[in-house]
Structure formats: C-alpha cells, structure tokens
C-alpha cells in the first residue's frame, strides 16, 4: 500500500554514497511535494554507479540500501489546510473589533435602574419565543387552569392590575403585544412568571408562601419588572451573541474546545447576567409595589418564607452555579433599598387611599 512521504531519513553509512550517486536530490524533490506518495516498502534497495576513485580505477556497481521513514501528512484543521499564523491573527483581530463595535452599538439603558445592557433582538423574535412558550405551557397545564371567576384568579388579577398601572403599562394594552391575561394554575409548584406580551401565570403552590396581598405584590412586582425591563429580550440577545462567538472559536481555533468554551461562557457570562437581571427585577419590583401602595417592608418576610421553603425542598446550593441570587442575598439587598421604596410609597399618597379602603372594607384582609 502506498504511504505518504514528506522526508527521507538515510542511514549514516549510506548518506555519503547517496549524495555522490545523486539520489538525495531526487528524494528531496519528492519530499517538497506535499501529499506525494512513496510506492515502495519502508526499506528501499537502490543500485548506484559510484564515481571513479582517486587512484583512477573505474567505478564499480555496488548496491546501496536506504532506510526511508514515511512521516504522516501535514496536519489539517477540521478537514481544511492550516491557516498561517499571521493570517489567523489578522482574522481574529478584525473579527474581534467588529464584534466589539456590534456589542457597543447595541447597548442601551434599562428602565428605572439605568443599567447598560446588550440588546440585539427584534420584537418579532421575542414575540415568537413568547408564543412558543405559551403554547407549551397550555399543552402541559391547560386542563389545570382555574376559571376567571375563581377567587384565586380574581385575587391575582387584582394585585397584578395595580402593579401594572403603577409601572405605566396600561392594563388594557399598549399595542397588540401587550394584551394582559391572568392565569392561575392549580399545581403545587412555587412559581410565578410573566411571558413577554403580558401573560401572567401564578401557581397555587406559591400562594401559601405569599400569604396576603403584600406578599403576592412582592412576587408579581418582581415578575412584572422582568417584563418592564425587557429581560427576556436581553437574555436572548446574549445567547445570540455568544452563539456567534462560539462559532468563531470553533472555526478558527479548535473545534475540540467547543464543550469547554460553552461551560466557560455559561459560568462566566450567562449565569452572572441571569443573577444580575434577577437582582434588578427585585429592585424594580420593590419600587413598583411601593408605588402601587403595597407595603414594601413585607417583602422581607416573603423572602424569608421563600428561603425556608426552598431549604426544605432543595437544600442550599452554590450560588455561583445558580440562575437566581440566594434568598439571603436578596433580603440583604431589599433592606438597602427599603428607604427609597418607602419614600416612593409616601409620595404616592397611599396613606389617604389606605384610610379610605379601611373605612369601606374594615374586615377585608385575604390570606392564603
């Protein structure tokens, strides 16, 4: 079987003879042809005519044995010829500058907090994602959604409506994508979320933890803050940007490092960004519930109860590997933000509203 040859290695005893016979030039010429093959076995016997000796005697025919060591063909990268180092650096440098320009050009401030974040998806992309998520939820829980006139559903709608109005997002909708809908799912999960476009989902399993309107306002204020700040679009934007970055690493560097790159990007960018969004939603949600005339101090008790419930169910995990901050970290942040939230509540003339409600409904205090 033919074997590729890139360099011939001669025995020391025959190197001089080969040089005098002219064979080294032929082998060198063959070795300069990438991809050429040597159709002989590893040990090659060649008969050469030696030059006349210094004493004037005629040359003699003597067999000379050459040991030829075939070497593997030049390494190719992913089926392609290797890129010159200088060209690679030029490509990576140009690509890096273009990605940096693209990233900076798509930075914008988040509402209320003013944090600069990367946004590079269209409303149509977010709407398509929300539609798909909605269909999946309805397929899984559609038969467990409580009717609109159920006490739980009316309770959730009442609290959510006040927070939405405080946020400036009209409950009647700000365009076709903001058609607010309220669903309560009869399931034990301690969960609640708002899909882009205004679909609010609350699981009955979280209502005992919420206990009352202030507790539920803490939960819904946080979830509606995600919608107000556009965190869904932000996470999609980062995922899109990192997908392009991973492709460039795979194409130009080494495809075998894709798994390691994905882990590094997840731990170094995606998870920290997710926790940052959650903390921002805590801050915005606290301001929203205060502006909607709910008691922001009750948010501390809500997260204490949430922490106890999570510890019983899941135990304590390493926060750096989580998408959400720890409950204790959230409590510490809320305590720092409380003075600002209480001032916002005072500026909203909530005391007059509370006095009116107490006079009209002296015994009303729903608990779950």
- pLDDT one-digit tens code per residue, 105-148: 888 888 777 888 888 888 888 989 999 999 999 999 999 999 99
Q: Is residue 254 part of a domain?
A: yes
Banded model confidence at residue 254, pLDDT cuts 50, 70, 90: low
* Statement to judge: residues 59 and 136 lie in one domain: no
* Statement to judge: residues 279 and 176 lie in one domain: yes
* Statement to judge: residues 29 and 162 lie in one domain: no
Q: Is residue 78 part of a domain?
A: no
Higher-pLDDT residue of 186 and 119 is: 186
* Statement to judge: residues 127 and 60 lie in one domain: no
* Statement to judge: residues 62 and 127 lie in one domain: no
Q: How far apart are CA 162 and CA 217, in angstroms?
A: 9
217 CB neighbour count, 10 Å cutoff: 30
pLDDT value at residue 71: 55
Instruction: For the full predicted model, state whether its pTM sits above 0.95.
Output: no
- Domains in the chain: how many in total? 2
pLDDT value at residue 209: 93
Q: Is residue 237 part of a domain?
A: yes
Banded model confidence at residue 10, pLDDT cuts 50, 70, 90: very low
DSSP state of 258: H
* Statement to judge: residues 56 and 128 lie in one domain: no
Domain that holds residue 295: 122-360
* Statement to judge: residues 340 and 267 lie in one domain: yes
Whether 18 has a pLDDT exceeding 70, the answer reads no
* Statement to judge: residues 230 and 140 lie in one domain: yes
Average pLDDT of the residues of the chain: 75
135 CB neighbour count, 10 Å cutoff: 11
Per the CB < 8 A criterion, the answer to whether 162 and 292 are in contact is yes
- Tokens 């974040």, residue? 117
Query: For residue 142, what are its two tokens?
Result: 């559609």
Per the CB < 8 A criterion, the answer to whether 4 and 37 are in contact is yes
Higher-pLDDT residue of 251 and 305 is: 305
Q: Is residue 116 part of a domain?
A: no
Q: Is residue 198 part of a domain?
A: yes
Give catalytic residues, as residue numbers.
223
Query: Which residues on adjacent β-strands are paired with residue 117?
Result: 108
* Statement to judge: residues 63 and 195 lie in one domain: no
* Statement to judge: residues 179 and 286 lie in one domain: yes
* Statement to judge: residues 163 and 60 lie in one domain: no
Per the CB < 8 A criterion, the answer to whether 214 and 196 are in contact is no
Q: Is residue 82 part of a domain?
A: no
* Statement to judge: residues 59 and 198 lie in one domain: no
Banded model confidence at residue 69, pLDDT cuts 50, 70, 90: low
Q: Is residue 103 part of a domain?
A: no
Q: Is residue 145 part of a domain?
A: yes
Each residue's pLDDT tens digit, 168-179: 886 444 444 467
Banded model confidence at residue 14, pLDDT cuts 50, 70, 90: very low
């Amino acid at each position: 079987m033919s074997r590729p040859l890139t360099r011939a290695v001669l025995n020391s005893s025959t190197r001089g003879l080969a040089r005098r016979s002219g064979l080294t030039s032929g082998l060198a010429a063959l070795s300069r042809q990438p991809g050429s093959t040597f159709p002989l076995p590893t040990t090659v016997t060649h008969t050469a005519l030696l030059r006349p000796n210094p004493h004037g005697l005629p040359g003699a025919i003597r067999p000379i044995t050459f040991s030829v060591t075939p070497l593997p063909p030049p390494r190719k990268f992913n089926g392609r010829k290797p890129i010159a180092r200088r060209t690679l650096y030029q490509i990576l440098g140009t690509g890096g500058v273009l990605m940096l320009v693209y990233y900076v050009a798509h930075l914008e401030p988040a509402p209320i907090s003013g944090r600069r974040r990367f946004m590079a998806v269209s409303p149509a992309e977010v709407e398509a994602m929300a539609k798909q998520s909605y269909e999946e939820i309805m397929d899984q829980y559609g038969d467990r959604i409580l009717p609109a006139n159920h006490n739980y559903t009316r309770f959730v709608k009442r609290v959510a409506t006040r927070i939405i109005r405080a946020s400036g997002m009209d409950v009647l909708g700000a365009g076709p994508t903001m058609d607010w809908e309220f669903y309560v799912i009869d399931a034990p999960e301690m969960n609640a979320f708002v899909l882009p476009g205004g679909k609010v989902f609350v699981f009955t399993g979280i209502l005992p933890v919420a206990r009352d309107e202030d507790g539920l306002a803490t939960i819904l204020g946080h979830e509606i803050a995600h919608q107000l700040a556009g965190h869904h679009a932000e996470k999609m934007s980062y995922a899109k940007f990192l997908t392009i970055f991973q492709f460039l690493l795979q194409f130009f560097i080494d495809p075998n490092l894709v798994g390691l790159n994905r882990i590094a990007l997840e731990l170094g960018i995606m998870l920290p960004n997710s926790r940052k969004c959650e903390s921002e939603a805590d801050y915005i949600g606290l301001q929203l519930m205060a502006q909607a005339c709910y008691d922001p101090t009750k948010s501390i008790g809500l997260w204490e109860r949430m922490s106890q419930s999570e510890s019983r169910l899941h135990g304590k995990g390493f926060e750096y590997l989580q998408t959400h901050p720890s409950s204790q970290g959230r409590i510490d942040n809320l305590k720092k933000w409380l003075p600002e939230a209480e001032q916002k509540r005072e500026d909203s003339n909530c005391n007059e509203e509370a006095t009116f409600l107490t006079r009209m409904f002296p015994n009303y205090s729903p608990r779950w």
